[in-house]
Amino acid sequence: MFSKDIYIKRRQKLINDVDKGLILFLGNSESSMNFLHNTYKHRQDSSFLYFFGLDRHDLSAIIDAETGEVVVYGNDYSIDDIVWTGRQTSIADKAKSCGVDKSGTVDNLKSVLKEAQIKGRKIHFLPAYRDSNRIKIFEYLGIEPSNNEAEASVELIKAIVEQRNYKSNDEVLEITKACNTTVEMHLAAMRFAKPGMTEAQIAAEVEKVALAENGNISFATIATINGQTLHNHYHGNIIKEGQMFLLDAGAETPMGYAGDMSSTFPVGKSFTSEQRDIYQVALNSHEKSISMLKPGVSFKEIYFESAREIMRGMKDLGFVKGNVDDAVQAGAHGMFFPCGLGHMMGLDVHDMEDLGEQYVGYNNEEKSKEFGLKSLRLGRDLEPGFVLTIEPGIYFIPELIDMWKADNKYSDFLNYDKIEKFRNFGGIRNEEDFLITENGYQLLGKELPKTIVDVESERLKAFE
Ligand code: GLY
Ligand code: MN
């Protein structure tokens, strides 16, 4: 964890920003796989990590926004637990390590909350994304699990987003560590994959890099020859010469900070000429987006420019016709680019998605409901301290082609005869992570090979 002063400062700012009442933080419980004691690797809640840095299951905390009192709650292990888990730091000592002098048991927590309710005090809590915490909030506060999100405190969400969206230098160093490991994960795949292997073999080679750093993967690895399926977690195919391989994978540091990168490379030593042409269009869009990163620029505008760049390139290749600006204005780029351009990243790979994208990525404005644009997780003006991904892609999704073609959708802009011939082409995406600085941007982590020449030269290492 960071030094305790950092957590004290973060909590003090929260106390200043939240007007009245108690702020309740619920850490995460263990999560079972197939029976109670067979659990997934524990992942602490990110807001709990941000304000307390404590990575044990079943911890909670209350901050009194009026008196400034902070208490960490949890039950100490009994000897029955210790024989299985080994010696554990007491809850009191854990609390002290993040600058909190007071601690209590779960029963103490329940009575403090009951008393506050009797006195009619406001109790702020965050929307729960795990059922175990929905149930705890029901048990502690009587709020039905189905009302959890509606009853969560918008004031608290906004105050937390206002802190977590701006990464400190210490956080940037941690994220950079995650990004460097993430680059190594991608290099491992490029130097390993060969025709005849399964996607699963490559996924395993990639994930071991993150695990060997004593961290974890930051999200479920996408390692696929079917890159047109955006979140494709199936790893059962045998990869063949002539196909492209899309890897979207990232590392999480032991402190919980994420990296998130994508690369696309040929399964053989080199891309085919059709793959090369379309790869270059996707890469041009990626580079164009990066060149626009600086404070004051709207990320939504960068998204539209990345879409125009894709449509310009696809027009040169005969997939698109008509005026490119009009095509993007109408939404025709959704055929190839039906998702967003990037997202905030930090303690979560999609940072604070649990708190709501309208607060994190849209500065409290409503998000679009249009196809394509509704998947843009970030649309606000950029500010120094933001950490985000850039990840435009070009995808040929057979079901989308069939549906839009049947409806003659955007037929003024889309050349369906040509698109149809590429229905099994797959998908291409490059993704890198950036910090917005006072004057522009900084790439986080080492550079990933992404030009055609660099990717093909990296691929040769797999065949040496
Ligand atoms: N890396 C997966 C995603 O950004 O959705
Ligand atoms: Mn991403």
Residues 200 and 300 in one domain: yes
Residues 260 and 325 in one domain: yes
* Alpha carbons 270 and 460: distance in angstroms, whole number: 9
Best probe residue, ligand 1, of 207, 217, 219, 390 (max atoms within 8 Å of C-beta):
219
Instruction: For 322-350, write each residue's pLDDT tens digit.
Output: 999 999 999 999 999 999 999 999 999 99
22-26 vs 123-124, strand pairing mode: parallel
**pLDDT confidence of residue 366:** 87
456 CA to middle of ligand 2, Å?
23
Which range of residues forms the domain containing residue 280? 169-461
**pLDDT category, 81, cuts 50, 70, 90?**
very high
Residues 350 and 430 in one domain: yes
Residues 297 and 351 in one domain: yes
Task: Determine the average pLDDT of the residues in 59-79.
Answer: 97
The residues, ordered by sequence, that sit 6+ positions from 240 with a Cβ below 8 Å of its Cβ are: 195, 196, 225, 267
Helix (H, G, I), strand (E, B) or coil at 240: coil
84 CA to middle of ligand 2, Å?
38
Residues 117 and 20 in one domain: yes
Q: How many structural domains compose the chain?
A: 2
pTM as predicted = 0.96
Residues 284 and 349 in one domain: yes
Q: What is the dihedral of CA 410, 305, 165, 261, to 10 degrees?
A: 80
Best probe residue, ligand 1, of 217, 246, 248 (max atoms within 8 Å of C-beta):
248
61 CA to middle of ligand 1, Å?
31
Residues 88 and 183 in one domain: no
Instruction: For 374-417, write each residue's pLDDT tens digit.
Output: 999 999 999 999 999 999 999 999 999 999 999 999 999 999 99
The CATH code of the domain that includes 249 is: 3.90.230.10
- Whether residue 248 has its Cβ less than 6 Å from ligand 1: yes
| The last residue of a domain, from among 164, 191, 218 | 164
Instruction: For 264-281, write each residue's pLDDT tens digit.
Output: 999 999 999 999 999 999
- Whether residue 432 has its Cβ less than 6 Å from ligand 1: no
In this model, does residue 308 exceed pLDDT 90? yes
- Whether residue 357 has its Cβ less than 6 Å from ligand 1: no
| The last residue of a domain, from among 164, 186, 218 | 164
Instruction: Give the ligand at the shortest distance from the Cα of 339.
Output: 1
Residues 121 and 249 in one domain: no
**pLDDT confidence of residue 77:** 95
Residues 344 and 273 in one domain: yes
| The last residue of a domain, from among 164, 185, 203 | 164
Instruction: Give the ligand at the shortest distance from the Cα of 231.
Output: 1
**pLDDT confidence of residue 52:** 98
Residues 47 and 193 in one domain: no
- Whether residue 260 has its Cβ less than 6 Å from ligand 1: yes
Stretch (H or E) spanning 34: strand 32-35
CA nearest ligand 1 atom 2, residue: 248
Residues 237 and 310 in one domain: yes
**pLDDT confidence of residue 364:** 87
Residues 262 and 121 in one domain: no
The residues, ordered by sequence, that sit 6+ positions from 115 with a Cβ below 8 Å of its Cβ are: none
Atom of ligand 1 nearest to the CA of 389: 4
Chain length of the chain: 464
The CATH code of the domain that includes 9 is: 3.40.350.10
Annotate 147-163 with b (16+ C-beta within 10 A) or e (fewer): ebeeebbebbbbbbbeb
